[in-house]
Amino acid sequence: MNDTLEIPAADTREQRWSKRLALWTAVLILANVLADVVIGSPMMVLPQLLDHFDTDQAAWLNASAMLAGAIWSPLLAKSSDLFGKRRILLTTLLLAGAGAVICLVAPTLWIFLLGRFFQGAAFAAVFLTVALARQICTPRVAMAVVGLVTSGSSVVGIIEPFLMQPIIELFGYRAVFLAAALLAGVAALCVRVFIPESPIRGSGRIDVGGALLLGGGLGAVLAYVSLGTHLGWCSGGLLALLAAGAAALAAWAFLALRVEEPIIDLRALSRPILLTLLALVLAAGSFRSMLQLTGIIAQVPPDLGLGYGLGAGETIAVLLAAPNLGIVLGGVCAGWVAGRFGPALPLVGGIAVGAVATFAMFAGVSALPVAIACGAMVGMAAGAIGASGYNLAASLEAPDRQGTIAGVVSVVLALGSVVVNFAGGEVLKATRIPGITADGAPVSTATGVYLYVTMAGVLFVLAAVPALLLARSGAGIRAQSSKRHNPITPSTTIAARSAGGESRRP
């Protein structure tokens, strides 16, 4: 791997916007687009996949890549701190491309799922691009770049269905995986040619055993939560999976407190970082569950007389597009604000916007203009919370461990999303109306929908508590100021590595 682009000193990092930085940002957004394509695009061809592989296991096909991402993330995050963010990002893109090729030619379901496992590595692209941006730019510029790279891919999410549908009609389900393989190749080439390597490397080794225990445990628990509705919460296989996941996580926690260099040093998680992760897991669950609810009520015609419902032809596309536009706006604004006032402030602002939009959905579930406005505001909250969460966690962590903490943020965001989506789904399932469907899918009572909205709103309020504590303490601002007065130089890089090694010793 060519390291001639590696940046050894702070004064060579990007300190202001330029054509070169705009190019870097575009390439990093392209890498994140791959993550969205890997997770979401196969759902466009789910019926064809079920028919081709002669299976009814839609849940496994739906969740496999995300669960694989949870397994990959701890190992890739730690590796990025030791071997360089650019190098691991490139590896991630190549793994995802190889997985797409396997899915493209897979003759059996098991080989297809193997391909989805490799594709799941693309999940790590988001936190790797964040960690890379934090180290190839000065803090103020980096926060704005993070806002762009974490939300810019949502623009593609708006136009992707319109671009892919005609291709799918011509070439079938394989078109999705061919597009993913080509995108991975182009993104990897652009990263290899244009993106510089991160300037700071940690010292030590990778706790492979700990990474496997943590990743496997997270994957197993998330699999239980994701697949329980479809396969049965008390089925023997899923209960065994849950028990294995819990045992793996317990073993990882036990070892992490005893080994010299754990994959995530639990002893080094400060109070501000723990407050940040708590705010993110609650807020992520809230906004993801509300985006899920918008998609559900968008399919319900008002003339069913349920007390809610918005489905009416082209309005569905508008309802689903509004959050994506909001994500872009929220992420970009949060990055800009974070560069000037610190990342805790836009985190609080994003949570506040999300809470207002959520409670406004009591009216929005039956009023299309209100629903569109609320969807856009929830999207803004999602963009602001994601960008601010990455910026805040990275600001609070030592430079040689920013890749690891960014990976933790990604896993926490996914965990909150999966768990609260499941809880919301169970609320709707418990309040279904027998014999009434919308487009063949069962529907719930208005009471169930209102309970769902209440749950999401309460979680937003709870998320505001740790976020306000962080804002009051000035979290992120002091760290940013300290870095501004202590720029990275070759000597301080060596000191950071040494200090990082010392801090991990019991």
pLDDT digits (tens, 9 = 90+) for 411-440: 999 889 888 988 888 898 889 888 777 766
Between 480 and 502, name the one with better pLDDT: 480
Q: Is the pLDDT assigned to residue 490 strictly greater than 60?
A: no
Asked whether the domain spanning 269-506 has the same topology as the one spanning 1-205, the reply is yes
Q: Is the pLDDT assigned to residue 494 strictly greater than 70?
A: no
Confidence of residue 300 (pLDDT cuts 50, 70, 90): confident
Q: Please report, for the chain, the start and end positions of each structural domain, with discontinuous segments joined by +.
A: 1-205, 208-258, 269-506
Helices (H), 298-400: 315-341, 344-364, 368-396
Q: Give, for 179, the enclosing helix (H) or strand (E).
A: helix 174-194
SS3 call for 367: coil
Give the mean pLDDT of the chain. 85
Tokens of 210: 């700990």
According to the model, what pLDDT value does residue 314 have?
A: 61
According to the model, what pLDDT value does residue 252 have?
A: 94
According to the model, what pLDDT value does residue 493 have?
A: 40
What is each CA distance from 225 to 239, 251, 409, in whole angstroms? 11, 20, 19
Q: Is the pLDDT assigned to residue 480 strictly greater than 60?
A: no
Q: Is the pLDDT assigned to residue 175 strictly greater than 70?
A: yes
Task: At 57, give phi and psi (nearest 5°).
Answer: -85, 65
Q: Is the pLDDT assigned to residue 452 strictly greater than 50?
A: yes
According to the model, what pLDDT value does residue 476 have?
A: 67
Residue 360 is given by DSSP the state H
Share of the chain above pLDDT 90, in %: 50
What is each CA distance from 22 to 16, 133, 148, 149, 192, in whole angstroms? 10, 12, 10, 11, 16
Lowest mean pLDDT among 93-97, 171-175, 448-452: 171-175
According to the model, what pLDDT value does residue 315 have?
A: 66
HEC-encoded secondary structure of 295-317: HHHCCCCHHHCCCCCCCCCCHHH
Tokens of 308: 């809610």
Q: Is the pLDDT assigned to residue 492 strictly greater than 60?
A: no
The neighbour count for residue 108, using CB atoms within 10 Å, is 9
Q: Using CA atoms, how far apart are residues 94 and 339, in angstroms rounded to an integer? A: 32
| Topology (CATH) of 269-506 | Growth Hormone; Chain: A; (1.20.1250)
pTM, to two decimals: 0.86
Task: At 435, give phi and psi (nearest 5°).
Answer: 85, -5
Nearest CA among 112, 81, 86 for reference residue 99: 112
- The CATH number fitting domain 1-205, selected from 3.40.50.970, 1.20.59.10, 3.40.718.10, 1.20.1250.20: 1.20.1250.20
Confidence of residue 313 (pLDDT cuts 50, 70, 90): low
Q: Give Cβ neighbours of residue 419 (< 8 Å, ≥ 6 apart).
A: 225, 285
Confidence of residue 155 (pLDDT cuts 50, 70, 90): confident
| Cβ proximity of 121 and 92 under 8 Å | yes
Q: Is the pLDDT assigned to residue 244 strictly greater than 50?
A: yes
SS3 call for 336: helix
On the 0-12 / 13-18 / 19+ scale of CB atoms within 10 A, 472 is exposed
On the 0-12 / 13-18 / 19+ scale of CB atoms within 10 A, 501 is middle
Between 226 and 197, name the one with better pLDDT: 197
Confidence of residue 474 (pLDDT cuts 50, 70, 90): confident
Tokens of 299: 């399919």
Nearest CA among 192, 131, 135 for reference residue 3: 192
Q: Using CA atoms, how far apart are residues 484 and 140, in angstroms rounded to an integer? A: 9
According to the model, what pLDDT value does residue 375 have?
A: 92
Tell me the pLDDT tens digit for each residue of 33-81.
998 888 878 878 888 888 888 887 776 777 788 888 888 999 999 999 9
According to the model, what pLDDT value does residue 439 have?
A: 67
According to the model, what pLDDT value does residue 506 have?
A: 33
Q: What residues form DSSP beta bridges with 441? A: 438
Q: Is the pLDDT assigned to residue 502 strictly greater than 50?
A: no
Confidence of residue 477 (pLDDT cuts 50, 70, 90): low
